[in-house]
Structure 1
Amino acid sequence: MPPPGPAEVCFVGRSNAGKSSAINVLTQQRRLAFSSKTPGRTRLINMFGIPDRLDPEQDIGYLVDLPGYGYASVAREDQSKWADVLGGYLRSRASLAGVVLLIDIRRGVTELDRKLSEWLAPTGTPVLALLTKADKLPYGQRIKAQAAVRKELAAIGALTTVPFSATHRIGIEEAAAHIENWILPKVAP
């Protein structure tokens, strides 16, 4: 890992929750982060620099694609190594400005999501829960699912939930605004 520097926003969630797809649609890039139908494809911490418009040689922040959790076909030894690396990153990274937690809206909060939220809560790091695949549910069910996730993850404190679909462009503007504010906080007049 490079030394801490500009603000970092990490994307975390179960394998195949849509982390890479979310990064791609939010950055308006087609293949910045590699997405696959095969769970467990991301095996490294991938950092994507956000260049400064005034000085493209400088990065104003980073989007960080973390390996997914919960993929059973990965050896337990590898799962343990990932847990240690990811845990260290999430708990102690000085430049971590926010966490984007991706949850499949159809499945709701899983046991692993709950454990992650309990682990994140004491850090005080703000969390944006993107409820992916929102296009798969009618509007009324989306709202119910959003309320259920908010209730289940209430221990996090600084939590915002947004129904999200990369393919149907649901929740993109709201998610982008949260992330941009973490990277470049707006100063109140």
Structure 2
Amino acid sequence: MSILHRAHFTTSAARLDQLPPPSAPEVCFVGRSNSGKSSAINVLTQQRRLAFSSKTPGRTRLINMFGMPDKLEPERDIGYLVDLPGYGYASVAREDRSAWAHVLGGYLRDRPSLVGIVLLVDIRRGVTDLDRNLIEWIAPSGKPVLALLTKADKFAYGQRIKMQFAVKQELAAIGMLHTVPFSSTHRIGLEDATTHIENWISPQVAA
């Protein structure tokens, strides 16, 4: 069983100073509103409602952390999945968008326990200007990035591969980058994504 399947809700925070002190490795999920973050977290952890998405896009304003307990010491978490607020929804007030950008940028730049970033990109949209802005925060950090091209079931296999190559070219500023066509509903790319995240948290995963 994957260590991701042990994930449980740990805490929510509206600000960086409300997060628990850095400890075990953290893998964060970031992407535009409606890019499929919550669905990806739920299918990767094999839990239907671990992560929630707001019915109104852009309304989720919290950083949500999900811990994965040690098998031998269940009270101790060996790693965390971190769901960051979505970005880029047009109807959200400008000042709110600015505040979210500050939280996102601060976490990606300064969080010492962050070991990997899962960037979700809707395969039908490709890389947007807002995604490029985010990459400007990510690239200098040197953190490895797994780009999940969500909703890949909407494209035929050949189209997926073509878009995968195009996204990799777009994200060339990120040195350590792996791209995976992904679909929560059709479980496309699930095994590849799981392996990458597990290896970030623990190179020798003890399932």
TM-score range, shorter chain: over 0.9
> Aligned pair 1:106/2:124, yes or no?
yes
Deviation of 1:118 after TM superposition, in Å, equals 2.2
**Corresponding residue for 2:79?**
61
C-alpha distance in 2, partners of 1:173/1:37?
29
Q: How well do the aligned residues superpose, as a CA RMSD in angstroms? A: 1.1
Structure 1 segments (4+ residues) deviating >3 Å: none
Partner of 2:41: 23
Shift of 1:140: 0.2
Matched, 1:141 2:175: no
Equivalent position of 2:5 in the other structure: none
Take 1:83 and 1:117, find their aligned partners in 2: how far apart are those partners? Answer: 12
Runs of 5+ unmatched residues, structure 2: 1-18
- How many residue pairs were aligned? 187
- Where does residue 185 of structure 1 map in the other structure? 203
Conserved? CA contact 2:147–2:179, under 8 Å: yes
* SS in structure 2 of the partner of residue 43 of structure 1: coil
Please list every run of 5 or more consecutive structure 1 residues that lacks an aligned counterpart in the other structure.
Answer: none
Q: Which whole-Å CA distance do the structure 1 matches of 2:25 and 2:198 have between them? A: 10
Q: Following TM superposition, by how much is the alpha carbon of 1:38 offset from its aligned partner in structure 2, in angstroms?
A: 3.2
Task: Please give the residue correspondences for 1:13-92 in structure 2 after superposition, counting only pairs within 5 Å.
Answer: 13-92=31-110
State how far apart, in whole Å, the 2-side matches of 1:134 and 1:90 are.
26
**For the Cα contact (< 8 Å) 1:16–1:38, is it kept in 2?**
no
Equivalent residues of 1:15, 1:69 under 8 A apart: yes
User: Partner amino acid for 1:140?
Assistant: G
The question of 1:151 aligning with 2:185 is answered: no
TM-score with structure 1 length normalisation? 0.96
Q: Deviations over 1:100-135 (max 9, x none)?
A: 000000110001111111221111000000000000
Q: Percent identity?
A: 80
Tell me by how many angstroms 1:41 deviates: 3.5
Per-residue deviation, 1:37? 5.0
Relative to structure 1, is the Cα distance of residues 36 and 170 closer, same or farther in structure 2, using a 3 angstrom cutoff? Answer: farther
TM superposition score normalised by structure 2: 0.88
8 A Cα contact 1:16 1:37, kept in partner: no
